[in-house]
Structure 1
Amino acid sequence: MIDPRLTGHVAVVTGANQGIGAAIAVALATQGVSVLATYLRMDPAARTDDPSFPAQYGRLRAQSADSVVDRIVAAGGKAVAVEADLADPAVPARLFDEAAASFGPVDILVNNASGWFADTFRPDSRDRFGRPLTAVDAHTVDRQFAVDARAPALMIAEFARRHVARKATWGRIIGLTSGGPHGFPQEVSYGAAKAAQENYTLSAAAELGPYGVTANTVHPPVTDTGWVTPEVAEAFAGSSPPRRVARPEDVAEVVVLLAAHQSRYVTGQVVRMT
């Protein structure tokens, strides 16, 4: 059995009330990491015009992270939940303060949260799955970048400032991405914001390496966090080559691997899961 040597470390995991973020919080806690799980409840009523938005997914997005914390604590782990809007630039400092007050200095940062929505340069009103599309404008760009690019950048900056100030020598930064540098049709601002987050993370790998910090990004496959309808699953299964639909726990395992001692020489990478 390989010991990842994570016991005693402290993590902030954003977007941890459901899906991949919740699975990451649980997986890290299982390895002895104390976890601050952030979340922002969404209003499912805002998606009533979307026939591809399953009701169960809406309920998951509307819940707090309390059930995730309860699961961790029941298994003997340590976790707290904090609701926070990452679009607010004052939030990163507050999250690090709360984590430090609860468990000690943060040395693992997982930027998972997303403010996903679909926008396009085309005049289309629906995407290939029947989901509503919005025309790209200043609002869509600012809204998407605030959560998926600016917030991770500010979280990394807060992590780095505190890490250097306390003369720490061990740290992990892990981001979650989609799309990439080749564009993301029908989700153009989301893809662009995730590409920016990738770049921030790779810059952190280069700049913070001398301080013992590794920084990597995970590019999951299509992952069923509650939004994959039978129509979506069929579309991916029929693609060429066929694409598998992963579970959140599959992605969480890769995040734990990148945080582990055994990955201490892995940095500046975009790990693509297929």
Structure 2
Amino acid sequence: MNAAAQTQATGTHNEDRKVALVTGGSRGIGAAIAERLASDGFAVIVNFAGRASEAEALVARIVKAGGRAVAAQADVSDPAAVTRMFDTAETAFGGVDVLVNSAGIMKVVTLAETTDEIFDQQVAINLKGTFNTLREAARRLRNGGRIVNVSSSVVGLYQPMYAAYAATKAGVEAMTHVLTKELRGRDITVNTVAPGPIATQLFFEGKTDEVIARYAKAPPLERLGKPEEVASVVAMLAGPDGSWVNGQTIRVNGGVV
């Protein structure tokens, strides 16, 4: 087993089972996506950067439910680590059919107060990290596969304090459209899901109760979304019902924009 693999556990064996690689899969939206795809029959690679225990716990839950999963450590901003992660997937399950790019960080600060470090961190993980996995997938994803990138509805809202973050996610959406055209002839769809305010640890970090309440009130549905509600849209795009959806950005945000 490649050194990038931290945990491998196998439930019901099925050679025909398709394989999904979910970056940032140890918690939040990524974990919900990994668990949903596993329940839909995919063998899942749960990628994590530094939360091994959370990734391993998720793998254990998937296996207990009869699924197949492996946890793979990789910093997506590191191209060599991304290559090793795909190697792990091929060693464990024979290849990759679905890539979901959920790894990301969000720093909320005005543009004037955005340090070089804050800017560079978000570009490295959100934009370069997605570029790294897309490049590897363009070379190695099996024909008939699916790619789902995770953007954000801040692209469209353009609120104050989200300049760098929104810029990275706008770049992700642009790469989605370009890659769709470059993969012509391989029956691979490339789409983006752009969540609005979702009740995750990433969303809650650094926000007061007042700010959280304001975000929850903003959509016409007047609540925060759930990670599982994003996962259900990703599952549609990754499954047979998404076969004719290609090059699209789907905003999953309760109507906030």
- TM class by shorter-chain length? 0.7 to 0.9
Match of 2:49 among 23, 32, 40: 40
SS in 1 for 2:184: helix
Partner of 1:256: 235
Q: TM-score, normalised by structure 2?
A: 0.84
Q: Residue 64 of structure 1 corresponds to which residue in structure 2?
A: 54
Shift of the 158–203 alpha-carbon distance from structure 1 to 2, 3 Å rule, reads: same
What residue is the counterpart of 2:124 in the other structure? 146
Q: 1:40 to 1:169 in 2, by over 3 A?
A: closer
Shift of 1:261: 1.3
1:90 partner SS: helix
State the distance in 1 between where 2:175 and 2:107 align: 21
The one-letter amino acid paired with 2:160 is P
**Shift in Å at residue 97 of structure 1?**
0.2
Give the TM-score taking structure 1 as reference length.
Answer: 0.79
For the 8 Å contact 1:181–1:195, the answer to whether it is kept is: no
Of 57, 78, 89, 2:79 maps to 89
1:175 aligns with 2:149: yes
Question: Any conservation in 2 of the 1:120–1:188 contact (CA below 8 Å)?
Answer: yes
- Flag the 1:224–1:181 CA change in 2: closer, same or farther, 3 A: closer
Mean alpha-carbon deviation: is it higher for 216-225 or for 236-245?
236-245
Take 1:232 and 1:217, find their aligned partners in 2: how far apart are those partners? 27
Q: Which amino acid aligns with 1:159?
A: A
Inter-partner Cα distance in structure 1 for 2:217 and 2:156: 25
Equivalent residue of 2:161, what SS?
coil
> How far apart, CA to CA, are the structure 2 residues paired with 1:182 and 1:222?
11
CA separation of 1:161 and 1:240: change in aligned 2, threshold 3 A? closer
Q: Offset of 1:35 from its aligned partner?
A: 0.6
Identity over the aligned pairs, expressed in percent? 39
The one-letter code of the counterpart of 1:169 is N
Q: Classify 1:185/1:63 alpha carbon distance in 2 versus 1 (closer, same or farther; 3 Å).
A: farther
Q: Is the 8 A contact 1:184 1:192 kept in 2?
A: no
What residue ranges of structure 2 are gaps of 5+ in the alignment? Answer: 1-15
Q: How does 1:1-274 map to 2 (within 5 A)?
A: 8-41=17-50, 63-122=53-112, 135-163=113-141, 168-178=142-152, 179-180=154-155, 183-226=158-201, 227-228=203-204, 230-239=209-218, 241=220, 243-273=222-252, 274=254
Q: Secondary structure of the residue that 1:38 maps to in structure 2?
A: strand
Instruction: Quote how far apart the aligned CAs of 1:158 are.
Output: 0.5
For 1:242 and 1:234, how far apart are their aligned partners in 2? 13
2:49 alignment partner AA: L
What 5-or-longer segments of structure 1 have no aligned partner? 1-6, 42-60, 123-134
Secondary structure of the corresponding residue to residue 191 of structure 2: strand
Amino acid at match of 1:207: E
* Deviation readout 1:126-171 (Å, 9 max, x if unpaired): xxxxxxxxx22332222111100111111111111123xxxx4301
In structure 2, what residue type is equivalent to 1:180? V
Number of residue equivalences: 233
Which aligned runs of 4 or more in structure 1 are off by greater than 6 angstroms?
none
